[in-house]
């Protein structure tokens, strides 16, 4: 691929983020009409990706990228095959419609600019996720989608329910992301591949590795949390707290499909093993049934749709894991169909909410005449969702039944699961699309009328797309379904199903599904009551479990903090020094590294005298009964140290130490005139004994380790280097000073900065007037305090 094309793809990948930066300004200028401008960003991206359709349909892949962190061998690289290209087109295409819809839905909202910003950021993250090649990039974008989803769910942050839902989504998907990272690391460790494209040829190695199971479970941990598989499904319905454009985009069409994307992407590499073909259908099937049953009991339009989304995701996972090529084709068709009809239905639900003021299915009715365009879009989408011809959903459902088949007990079970799930979804789809629009007009908070073009354009386009894609199935299969199915299966596949009904088992099953669906639709009220009673009987669910876990964490951390941070400094100090003593002695004894005891050398008289002075100073500090004694004896031990430096060939140190000790005595004297030193150390005897033992142990340990250090051979490379080069390179004869100002100048620069910061901090502390600080309950006027001090 040409270099400038690569540049353009890179631009397209960062374009949503540029749009996110521009959104607040554009919104300030154009108001809600900024949507028209901002929709150009995803529209351009969509256009750019369509240019790859031809090449990818021929079975080619498009790869490119740049080095990101060269030293770690991490690339910013992308890889476009049928799978990622289809996802990229869905994201940018539906994204365009969503941006427009948001402009209508949130018209006049004070934070509309922020909303556009978030949703474009999400778009960029999601797009990066599906085209990412390198593992690290995949992970980074994966977590970015979690974070942007958090921001979007919590958009209405003044409501506690929003905050809870946002946090819940972040915790669940974020933990899943960590699991994914661990899984990717295991995979990279097994195969040595650092990118998805490199991994594709390593499937044999990976499946045979002993750690395959660990890698599989970790990766699925990421995929199942993101795609809301049971028992992690609970965050998705709660995420309906977000504004409807978000629900339509993130929580049906795109983000929740990231887990499905991951499973599909890894299918050629990790699939076709017994574990894969058991775990995926079991979790997927369970999710499908539980999702639809839970959807039955809802009356909120968005929640009904949300639970069917959970169910659809389960169906997709089940199909991907089933392990037949036709099932993979079915998964691909259903994924594309679902993105379109579910996105459309969500936007319809939002439009109803927006125009009538409620989205409770029992409180809306007969608005079809008032909102005809929305009604048409809803019905078209529901037809696709119900799997009726000639819509794309029909193709998907035929393929599902063909793929699962009746070959064995296992596939019969899964087929029945699919039939039941599809029938329930049929019922709910039509409930959403028909109930509000038909029947007698009921009284609603607002008088309904057709929304502006921004509100009906998106659902209508998506719903019509579902029809067109099925009518021109040759084209859609050639450019979308077949390349994507080939990428998922890992071998060339050609999807050929069309809207012309084929007499056979699948058609029969479709008819059965529809019959069941109509039966459910007619008995919806009763089903709802039954489900509600069942759920009340069960009582506990993972959603409530999340609350308990959060509260438990807070309680536990408060409890642990209470123990480890009791707020008493002496306890901290005691613990610290006991740990220090242990750290010194345990390794020394355990590894037999105790120093040998040398004979005491005889020292000249004056050196002994200096040491004696030092010890006298220390003893005097310990026994000081008034501040003057303490200060003077502190000075004495300091001067003794200075003398030691002087005797051992360190005149610079000696001078510095003298000056510092002098200044210390001065400032101590200045401060201590105010600070009472208690006449004696009144620690109780037991405390005293303990402290003395700890201090003695630490002192002995440090002394011994120092002795041991001086008994190993000395590496004088650095010292010799400095001695040989001080004059030659740095033109100085005082080697110590040359090291300070020249060889280690940067170090010194940092150190003088520290000195200066300490000076500033002290100045600030001194200047804060006593009594002004908020700590004191009874505030005194500053003047009075000064007088008291003087």
Partner 1 sequence: METILAATVAVFFAVSIYLMLSKHIIRILLGVAIFSNAVNLTIFTAGRVVREVPPIIPEGLDTPDRITANPLPQALILTAIVISFSIFAFLLVLAFRAYQELGTDDTDGMRVAEPEGEALPPLGY
Partner 2 sequence: MHTLIFRTIAPYLASLMVLFSIFVLLRGHNEPGGGFIGGLIAASAFAIYGIACGVAPVRRALYFHPMAISGFGLLVSALSGGVSLFMDMPFLTGQWTEIDVLGLPVDISTVLFFDIGVYFVVVGSITSIALALEEREHA
673 binds, among partner 1, partner 2, none (CB under 5 to 8 A by kind): partner 2
Q: Which of positions 161-180 make contact with partner 1 (CB under 8 A)? A: 163-164, 167
554 binds, among partner 2, partner 1, none (CB under 5 to 8 A by kind): partner 1
Calpha distance 249→264 (Å, rounded)? 20
Of residues 263, 261, 327, the one with CA closest to residue 84: 261
DSSP element (H, E) containing 713: none
Q: Does 244 contact partner 1 by CB under 8 A?
A: no
**Residue of 766, 768, 773, 777 that binds partner 2 (CB under 8 A):** 766
In contact, 726 and 744? CB cutoff 8 Å: no
Residue pair 194/73 in contact by the 8 Å Cβ criterion: yes
Buried b (16+ CB within 10 A) or exposed e, 266-278: bbbbbbebebbbe
CB burial string 679-707: b at 16+ within 10 A, e below: eeeeeeeeeeeebeebeebbeebeebbee
Neighbour tally for 129: CB within 10 Å: 26
- Out of 727, 781, 783, 786, name the contact with partner 1 by CB under 8 A: 727
Site string for partner 2, 671-690 (x = CB under 8 A): x-xx----------------
Q: Which is nearer to partner 1, 61 or 725 (CB)?
A: 725
**Nearest distance from residue 605's CB to partner 1, in Å?**
14
Structural element, H or E, at residue 179: helix 160-191
Question: Could you say which residues in the range 353-382 bind partner 1, by CB under 8 A?
Answer: none
Q: Residue 288 belongs to what H/E stretch?
A: helix 274-297
Range 643-662, binding partner 1 (CB under 8 A): 644-645, 647-653, 656-657, 660
How many residues touch partner 2 (CB under 8 A)? 43
Q: How far apart are CA 141 and CA 127, in angstroms?
A: 8
**Under 8 Å between Cβ of 159 and 121:** no
Residue 651 or 781 with smaller CB distance to partner 1: 651
C-beta closer to partner 1: residue 1 or 589: 589
The answer to the question of residue 755 lying near partner 2 (CB under 8 A) is yes
User: Could you say whether residue 733 binds partner 2 (CB under 8 A)?
Assistant: yes
Under rule CB under 8 A, residue 628 binds partner 2: no
Query: What is the nearest approach in angstroms of partner 2 to the Cβ of residue 651?
Result: 4
723 lines the binding site for partner 1 (CB under 8 A): yes
- The Cα 299–Cα 247 span in angstroms is 17
How many chain residues are in contact with partner 1, going by CB under 8 A?
107
Q: Which of 58, 70, 160, 778 binds partner 1 (CB under 8 A)?
A: 160
Contacts of 517 (CB under 8 A, 6+ apart): 386, 422, 423, 424, 425, 426, 427, 430
| Beta carbon of residue 651, minimum distance to partner 1 (angstroms, whole number) | 5
Task: Choose between 673 and 711: whose C-beta lies nearer to partner 2.
Answer: 673
List 70, 160, 715, 789, residue binding partner 2 (CB under 8 A): 789
567 binds partner 1 (CB under 8 A): yes
The single residue among 156, 277, 325, 742 that binds partner 2, judged by CB under 8 A, is 742
Residue 744 touching partner 1 (CB under 8 A)? yes
Burial class (CB in 10 A: 0-12, 13-18, 19+), 590: exposed
- The structure tokens 């964490």 sit at 553
**Using rule CB under 8 A, residue 695 touches partner 1:** yes
User: Per-residue contact track with partner 1, 501 to 540, x per CB under 8 A?
Assistant: ----------------------------------------
23 binds, among partner 1, partner 2, none (CB under 5 to 8 A by kind): none
662, interface contact from partner 2, partner 1, none, CB < 5-8 Å by kind: partner 2
Contacting partner 2 (CB under 8 A), which of 746, 768, 775, 777?
Answer: 746
In this structure, what token pair is assigned to residue 615?
């010890």
Using CB under 8 A as the binding rule, whether residue 549 contacts partner 1 is answered as: no
DSSP 479-504: IIIHHHHHHHHTS-------SS---S
Q: Which of 724, 781, 783, 784 binds partner 1 (CB under 8 A)?
A: 724
Is 573 near partner 1 (CB under 8 A)?
yes
558 binds, among partner 1, partner 2, none (CB under 5 to 8 A by kind): partner 1
Q: How far is the CB of 784 from partner 1 (least distance, A)?
A: 14
Structure tokens that stand for 139 in this block:
């992970």
Site for partner 2 contains 762 (CB under 8 A): yes
Using rule CB under 8 A, residue 556 touches partner 2:
no
Nearer residue to partner 1 within complex by CB, 156 or 272? 156
537 binds, among partner 1, partner 2, none (CB under 5 to 8 A by kind): none
For the beta carbon of residue 222, count every other beta carbon within 10 angstroms. 26
Calpha distance 440→424 (Å, rounded): 25
Among residues 54, 439, 770, 781, the one that binds partner 1 under rule CB under 8 A: 770
Name residues whose C-beta falls within 8 Å of residue 315's C-beta, 6 or more positions apart in sequence.
284, 288, 334, 400, 418, 421, 422
Give the pair of three-digit tokens for residue 356.
Answer: 């009538």
If the CB atoms of residues 575 and 660 are measured against partner 2, the closer one turns out to be 660
For partner 1, the closer of residues 536 and 678 by Cβ is 678
Between the CA of residue 405 and those of 333, 384, 385, 419, 502, what are the distances in Å?
17, 22, 21, 12, 15
Q: Does 702 bind partner 1 (CB under 8 A)?
A: yes
Q: Does 786 bind partner 1 (CB under 8 A)?
A: no
| Stretch binding partner 2 (CB under 8 A), from 9-17, 31-39, 214-222, 657-665 | 657-665
Nearest to partner 1 of 205, 578 (CB atom): 578
Under the binding rule (CB under 8 A), the answer on residue 554 touching partner 2 is: no
Nearest to 99 by CA among 243, 260, 237, 305: 243
Residue 341: closest CA among 317, 313, 309, 315: 309
Q: Cβ 287 to partner 2, closest distance in Å?
A: 59
Contact partners, residue 789, CB within 8 Å, separation at least 6: 770
788 is a contact residue toward partner 2 (CB under 8 A): no
The footprint of partner 1 on residues 580-619 (CB under 8 A) is: 598, 600-601, 603, 611, 614-615, 618
The CA radius of gyration of the chain, in Å to the nearest whole number, is: 36
674 binds partner 1, rule: CB under 8 A: yes
Q: What are phi and psi of 450, to 5 degrees?
A: -60, 135
Among 447, 549, 560, 758, binds partner 1 (CB under 8 A): 758
Count of other CB atoms within 10 angstroms of residue 197? 15
CB atoms within 10 A of CB 506: 23
Q: What's the min distance (Å) between Cβ of 236 and partner 2?
A: 54
Write the DSSP string, 96-132.
HHHHHHHHHHTTT-TTHHHHHHHHHHHHHHHHHHHHB
Distance CA(3)–CA(10), nearest Å, equals 11
Question: 63 in helix, strand or coil?
Answer: strand
To partner 1, the closest distance from the beta carbon of 354 in angstroms equals: 27
Binding segment for partner 2 (CB under 8 A), chosen from 318-326, 430-438, 670-678, 707-715, is 670-678
Among 205, 282, 588, 668, binds partner 1 (CB under 8 A): 668
State yes or no: residue 747 binds partner 1 (CB under 8 A). Answer: yes
Q: Is 699 in the site for partner 1 (CB under 8 A)?
A: yes
CB–CB of 348/377 below 8 Å?
A: yes
Alpha carbon 244 to chain centroid, angstroms? 22
Residues that bind partner 2 (CB under 8 A): 651-652, 655-656, 659-660, 662-663, 666-667, 670-671, 673-674, 730-734, 736-738, 740-742, 745-746, 748-749, 752-753, 755-756, 758-760, 762-763, 766-767, 786, 789-790
């Amino acid at each position: 691929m040409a270099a400038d094309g690569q540049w353009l793809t890179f631009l397209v990948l960062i374009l949503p983020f540029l749009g996110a930066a521009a959104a607040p300004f554009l919104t300030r200028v154009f108001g809600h009409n900024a949507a028209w401008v901002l929709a150009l960003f995803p529209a351009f991206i969509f256009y750019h990706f369509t240019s790859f359709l031809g090449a990818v349909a021929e079975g080619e892949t498009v790869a490119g990228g740049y080095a990101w962190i060269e030293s770690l061998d991490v690339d910013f690289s992308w890889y476009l095959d049928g799978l990622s290209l289809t996802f990229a087109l869905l994201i940018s295409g539906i994204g365009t419609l969503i941006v427009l819809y948001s402009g209508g839905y949130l018209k006049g909202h004070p934070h509309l600019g922020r909303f556009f910003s978030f949703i474009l950021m999400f778009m960029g993250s999601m797009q990066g996720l599906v085209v990412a090649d390198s593992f690290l990039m995949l992970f980074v974008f994966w977590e970015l989608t979690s974070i942007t989803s958090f921001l979007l769910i919590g958009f209405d942050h003044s409501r506690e329910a929003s905050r809870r839902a946002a946090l819940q989504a972040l915790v669940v998907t974020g933990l899943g992301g960590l699991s994914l990272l661990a899984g990717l690391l295991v995979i990279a460790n097994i195969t040595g591949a650092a990118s998805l494209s490199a991994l594709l040829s390593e499937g044999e190695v990976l499946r045979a590795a002993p750690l395959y199971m660990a890698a599989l479970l970790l990766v699925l941990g990421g995929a199942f949390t993101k795609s809301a598989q049971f028992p992690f499904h609970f965050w998705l319905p709660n995420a309906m707290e977000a504004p409807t454009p978000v629900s339509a985009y993130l929580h049906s069409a795109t983000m929740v499909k990231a887990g499905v994307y991951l499973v599909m992407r890894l299918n050629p590499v990790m699939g076709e093993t017994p574990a894969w073909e058991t775990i995926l259908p079991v979790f997927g099937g369970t999710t499908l049934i539980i999702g639809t049953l839970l959807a039955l009991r809802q009356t909120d339009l968005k929640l009904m749709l949300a639970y069917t989304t959970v169910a659809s995701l389960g169906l997709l996972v089940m199909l991907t894991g089933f392990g037949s090529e036709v099932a993979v084709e079915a998964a691909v068709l259903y994924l594309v169909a679902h993105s379109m009809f579910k996105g459309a239905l969500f936007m319809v639900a939002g439009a109803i909410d927006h125009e009538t003021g409620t989205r409770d299915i029992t409180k809306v009715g007969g608005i079809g005449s008032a909102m005809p365009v929305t009604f048409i879009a809803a019905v078209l989408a529901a037809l696709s969702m119900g799997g009726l011809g000639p819509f794309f959903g029909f193709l998907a459902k035929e393929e599902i039944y063909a793929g699962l088949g009746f070959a064995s007990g296992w596939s019969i079970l899964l087929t029945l699961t699919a039939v039941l799930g599809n029938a329930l979804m049929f019922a709910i789809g039509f409930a959403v699309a028909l109930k509000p629009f038909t029947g007698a007009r009921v009284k609603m908070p607002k008088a309904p009328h057709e929304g502006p073009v921004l509100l009906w354009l998106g659902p209508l386009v998506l719903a019509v797309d579902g029809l067109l894609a099925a009518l021109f199935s040759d084209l859609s299969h050639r450019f979308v379904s077949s390349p994507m199915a080939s990428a998922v299966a890992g071998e060339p596949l050609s999807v050929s199903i069309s809207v012309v009904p084929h007499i056979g088992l699948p058609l029969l099953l479709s008819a059965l599904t529809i019959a069941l669906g109509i039966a459910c639709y007619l008995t919806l009220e009763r089903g709802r009551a039954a489900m509600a009673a069942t759920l009340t009987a069960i009582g506990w669910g993972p959603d409530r479990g999340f609350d308990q876990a959060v509260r438990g964490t807070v309680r536990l951390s408060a409890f642990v903090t209470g123990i480890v941070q009791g707020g008493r400094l002496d306890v901290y100090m005691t613990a610290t020094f006991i740990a220090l003593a242990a750290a010194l002695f345990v390794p020394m004894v355990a590894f037999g590294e105790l120093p040998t005891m040398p004979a005491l050398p005889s020292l000249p008289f004056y050196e002994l005298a200096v040491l004696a002075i030092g010890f006298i100073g220390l003893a005097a500090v310990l026994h000081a009964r008034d501040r003057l004694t303490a200060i003077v004896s502190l000075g004495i031990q300091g001067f003794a140290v200075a003398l030691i430096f002087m005797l051992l060939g360190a005149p610079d140190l000696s001078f510095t130490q003298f000056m510092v000790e002098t200044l210390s005595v001065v400032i101590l004297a200045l401060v201590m005139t105010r600070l009472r030193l208690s006449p004696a150390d009144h620690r109780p005897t037991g405390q005293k004994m303990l402290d003395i033992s700890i201090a003695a142990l630490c002192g002995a340990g440090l002394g011994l380790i120092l002795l041991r250090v001086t008994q190993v051979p000395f590496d004088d490379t650095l010292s010799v280097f400095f001695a040989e080069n001080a004059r030659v390179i740095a033109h100085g004869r005082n080697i110590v000073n040359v090291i300070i100002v020249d060889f280690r100048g940067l170090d010194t620069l940092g150190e003088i900065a520290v000195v200066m910061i300490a000076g500033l901090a002290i100045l600030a502390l001194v200047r804060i007037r006593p009594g002004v600080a908020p700590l004191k309950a009874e505030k005194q006027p500053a003047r009075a305090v000064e007088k008291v001090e003087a």
